[in-house]
Amino acid sequence: MTPVEHAPTPRRRQDREPRPEPDAVVLHDVWRAWGGAVAVAGLTFALRPGEIAACVGVTGAGKSTALRMVMGAIVPDRGEIRVLGHDPARDFGLLRGKIAPVFQTDRLLPWRTALENAALGLEILGVPAEERRRRAQAWLERLGLTAAASKLPHELSGGMRQRVSLARAFALDPQLLLLDEAFSHLDEVTAAGVRADFLSLARPLGTTCLLVTHSVAEAVEVADRILVFGRPARVVAEVRVAAPVRADPVAQDRVRREVLAHLQGAMAG
């Protein structure tokens, strides 16, 4: 990874103040229904600052609905959501620049170059043009996209486009990164590469990350903690993944089987 002059200062997790920081994300007894069908049923969990958590569940478990509620795009029917101390839907402007999303597909603006896309969040934040260009360029370089800066999305491969969307998110230096199946649209080799890039950036920066994925293997590889969702969405089990486990394929496999057992139990129950 190339060192970048304008990269933000990492917020290292071990440098926390003695007094415990408030949780970055808190969901308490959150409910949401779509047309009479309950998608989220009493969802409760919290994320510590700097933590990487993955929500896993079967298709239609309401994982994306939960993530979009954390994003503030959907309002819960009842229950409370606090993101960095704010209500994400009501305090829309207060969280500007603090949350960044990465979606399943890149969702780049097709008329913008990779550089202009990477600078989108900074532009919305009101960063002056020259500075946002420099910062976006730096993040593209970190993600190996130096030569692609002036390219339009349709001129890039799927993996490159997803890297641009990662650059767009990281360029904001967000406190919370929300990833909705961010690697599942890519082939396995490309996904592994993009995932490795993501981890190499998110872990040193200490960015709090909430991932939604249907891939248990991906969750085990990436997360500090796995929240196993039932259907409708509620946390039926939590599995911690210690750093040594993530480095050990055998231990990874054991955790993966444990998560799968919870998932199967949730479906059977």
Partner 1 sequence: MLGTLRGWRETLLVVAALLATLQLGSLVVPKYILPDVPAIAQAAREVLVSDARDIAATLLRLTEGVAAAFALGSLLGVAMGAVPAVARYARPLLNIMMAVPALNWILFAILWFGSAEVRVFFVVVVISLPFYALNVYEGIRGVPADLVEAVEAFRPTRTQAIRILLLPHTVPYIIMTTRSVLGYAIRITIFAELIGTAIGIGARLNAAQSQFRIDAVFAWTAVLVVINFVLQAAVERLDRRLLRWRPEQALR
Least Cβ distance, residue 10 to partner 1 (angstroms): 22
Contacts with 109 (C-beta within 8 Å, 6 or more apart), sequence order: 116, 117, 120, 153
By CB under 8 A, residue 152 contacts partner 1: yes
Q: What span, in angstroms and rounded, lies between the C-alpha atoms of 248 and 251?
A: 5
Q: What span, in angstroms and rounded, lies between the C-alpha atoms of 190 and 231?
A: 30
By CB under 8 A, residue 34 contacts partner 1: no
By CB under 8 A, residue 20 contacts partner 1: no
By CB under 8 A, residue 110 contacts partner 1: yes
By CB under 8 A, residue 53 contacts partner 1: no
* Span from 30-38, 50-58, 106-114, 250-258 in contact with partner 1 (CB under 8 A): 106-114
Which residues are bridge partners to 46 per DSSP?
26
Report which of 243, 81, 71, 73 is spatially closest to residue 174, judged by C-alpha positions.
Answer: 71
Q: What span, in angstroms and rounded, lies between the C-alpha atoms of 269 and 265?
A: 6
By CB under 8 A, residue 100 contacts partner 1: yes
Position among 27, 54, 56, 71 found at the interface with partner 1 (CB under 8 A): 71
* Span from 14-22, 29-37, 67-75, 226-234 in contact with partner 1 (CB under 8 A): 67-75
Report which of 6, 11, 5 is spatially closest to residue 174, judged by C-alpha positions.
Answer: 11
By CB under 8 A, residue 43 contacts partner 1: no
Residue 26 CB neighbour total at 10 angstroms: 18
- Interface residues with partner 1 (CB under 8 A)? 68, 71-73, 92-93, 95-97, 99-101, 103, 105, 107, 109-112, 120-121, 123-124, 152-154, 172, 178
